[in-house]
């Protein structure tokens, strides 16, 4: 039979299976990072505008598709989205609450309060849905687009009021390229909304003025881009795990590689010995069944029979569903008394070493992914060196996270709401933020309130 080559693309690797053997090859890390995430050490995607629908926009990514690329990367990964979900759960705590800032004896604290008028305004629109979407957008992209919709009273000279806020997904919003002033976020005058994943071909684009917090009622509808500054980036922020995308993609590739190895059975290769007498007998049988055919036609039939025979054997020898199956043949002796028999010999392809190396790469990828996400392994339920973190490690990691990693995200997420509260209720000096109760050691908790007792005797 002629040599055949089967190439299967798995993530950014290619699994090549030939008659001579199987092997895996892939590009260098910087190659897929440039191609897949739009990163280049020599290209600044914010240096020049991209033109869509006749409008100059600041491209978000080398091909103006970084939010979509990150979404697709995260969809395939088994670890990173879960870590982000855990971060959001820790950040959310006991939920959003109104508070006033208090200053006592040189210390700053929060006094959580109830306010009927502000709460009535919040309840008039789905503010919890806004908070949920803003938190997800921030954790994935470190920036949030927020639309403000004002009331109509200012059209006839009445008082202005922000009716509600709405998060615009990062996949659907882009900054307008500033023609005047320095090329940075502060110079942007409008934000465009459309289906940028499909180049706005079917939906078109709608431009909204950039929200001015000092003139909150200037426009009927405006949009603001709220973000945490990324070093060296003039417009958009990039997520903290951006440098870990290579490891996140590699972590996603490995299960697919192992799945392909398992299902297609290239984890073992075989050398099949077929007796010459068997094929001689088959050739004689073909000649009797088709006496009018030429030698070339009969040879073709024999080759087709060989292909069919070996394909059947391959289906039995390969694949996880064929475990425990066997091949039955009949040995015989030729006229000279020589035994004609089939032999199937397994060839060691060092698959064990290959699988172990892939598992080690996966462990390194998981560790790098966790580090890139910025969450302590004990809070991520990640096993380090074969061990889960102890309760004390989790407690101190939680306290450190609450003390250092919640303030900045909360400021960005609640900035639009707090600006709206200040504009709608200027005399109240209220803000909104996440409420977190204090976490204590079990020995510092009254016995009746300890977790173990509550678990054994639920209310």
State residue 282's pLDDT score: 81
Model confidence at 24: pLDDT above 50: no
Beta strand spans in 170-318 (E) = 173-175, 190-194, 205-209, 221-227, 269-273
Between CA 178 and CA 432 the distance in angstroms is: 33
Tell me if residue 63 falls in helix, strand or coil.
coil
Identify which has the larger pLDDT, 37 or 362. Answer: 362
Identify which has the larger pLDDT, 263 or 137. Answer: 137
φ/ψ (deg, to 5) at 272? -100, 125
> How would residue 136 be classed by pLDDT, with cut points 50, 70 and 90?
very high
pTM above 0.95, yes or no: no
Q: Alpha-carbon dihedral of residues 356, 361, 366, 368, nearest 10 degrees?
A: 150
Model confidence at 14: pLDDT above 80: no
State residue 220's pLDDT score: 92
The pLDDT tens digits for 403-426 are 666 778 889 999 999 999 999 999
State residue 36's pLDDT score: 46
The answer to which of 133-147, 189-203, 206-220 has the lowest mean pLDDT is 189-203
State residue 297's pLDDT score: 85
Of residues 278, 152, 279, the one with CA closest to residue 220: 152
pLDDT, mean over the chain: 76
Between CA 246 and CA 233 the distance in angstroms is: 21
State residue 390's pLDDT score: 55
State residue 271's pLDDT score: 67
State residue 3's pLDDT score: 47
State residue 190's pLDDT score: 94
State residue 42's pLDDT score: 47
> How would residue 164 be classed by pLDDT, with cut points 50, 70 and 90?
very high
Q: State the residue for tokens 């995308």.
A: 245
State residue 2's pLDDT score: 46
Identify which has the larger pLDDT, 130 or 241. Answer: 130
| Contact predicate 304/283, CB 8 Å | no
Model confidence at 222: pLDDT above 90: yes
Model confidence at 41: pLDDT above 50: no
**DSSP secondary-structure letter at 177?**
P
| Contact predicate 453/442, CB 8 Å | no
Between CA 408 and CA 404 the distance in angstroms is: 9
């Amino acid at each position: 039979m002629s040599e055949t080559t089967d190439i299967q693309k798995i993530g950014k690797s290619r699994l090549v299976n030939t008659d001579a053997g199987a092997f895996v090859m892939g590009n260098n890390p910087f190659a897929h990072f440039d191609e897949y995430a739009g990163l280049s050490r020599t290209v600044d995607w914010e240096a020049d505008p991209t033109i869509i629908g006749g409008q100059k926009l600041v491209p978000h990514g080398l091909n103006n598709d970084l939010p979509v690329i990150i979404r697709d990367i995260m969809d395939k990964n088994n670890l990173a989205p879960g870590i982000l979900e855990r971060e959001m759960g820790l950040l959310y705590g006991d939920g959003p609450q109104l508070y006033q800032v208090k200053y006592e004896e040189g210390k700053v604290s929060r006094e959580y309060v109830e306010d009927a008028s502000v709460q009535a305004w919040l309840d008039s629109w789905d503010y919890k849905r806004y908070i949920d979407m803003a938190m997800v957008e921030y954790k994935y992209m470190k920036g949030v687009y927020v639309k403000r919709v004002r009331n109509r009273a200012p059209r006839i000279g009445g008082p202005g009021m922000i009716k509600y806020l709405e998060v615009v997904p990062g996949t659907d919003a882009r900054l307008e390229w500033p023609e005047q002033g320095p090329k940075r976020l502060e110079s942007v005058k409008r934000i465009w909304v459309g289906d940028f994943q499909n180049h706005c071909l079917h939906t078109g684009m709608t431009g909204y003025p950039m929200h001015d917090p000092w003139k909150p009622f200037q426009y009927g509808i405006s949009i603001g881009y709220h973000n945490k500054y990324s070093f060296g980036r003039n417009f958009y922020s990039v997520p903290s795990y951006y440098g870990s995308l290579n490891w996140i993609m590699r972590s996603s590739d490995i299960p697919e590689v192992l799945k392909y190895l398992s299902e297609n059975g290239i984890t073992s290769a075989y050398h099949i010995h077929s007796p010459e007498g068997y094929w001689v007998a088959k050739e004689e049988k073909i000649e009797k069944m088709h006496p009018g055919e030429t030698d070339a036609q009969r040879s073709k039939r024999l080759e087709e029979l060989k292909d069919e025979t070996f394909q059947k054997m391959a289906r039995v020898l390969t694949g996880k569903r064929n475990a425990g199956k066997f091949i039955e043949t009949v040995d015989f002796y030729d006229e000279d008394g020589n035994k004609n028999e089939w032999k199937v010999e397994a060839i060691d392809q060092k698959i064990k070493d290959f699988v172990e190396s892939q598992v080690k790469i996966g462990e390194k990828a998981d560790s790098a992914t966790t580090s890139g996400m910025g969450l302590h392994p004990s809070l991520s339920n990640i096993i380090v060196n074969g061990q889960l973190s102890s309760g004390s490690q989790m407690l101190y990691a939680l306290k450190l996270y609450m003390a250092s990693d919640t303030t900045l995200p909360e400021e960005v997420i609640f900035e639009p709401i707090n600006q709206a509260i200040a504009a709608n209720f200027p005399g109240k000096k209220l803000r909104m933020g996440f409420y977190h109760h204090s976490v204590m050691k079990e020995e510092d908790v009254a016995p009746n309130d300890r977790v173990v007792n509550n678990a054994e005797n639920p209310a």
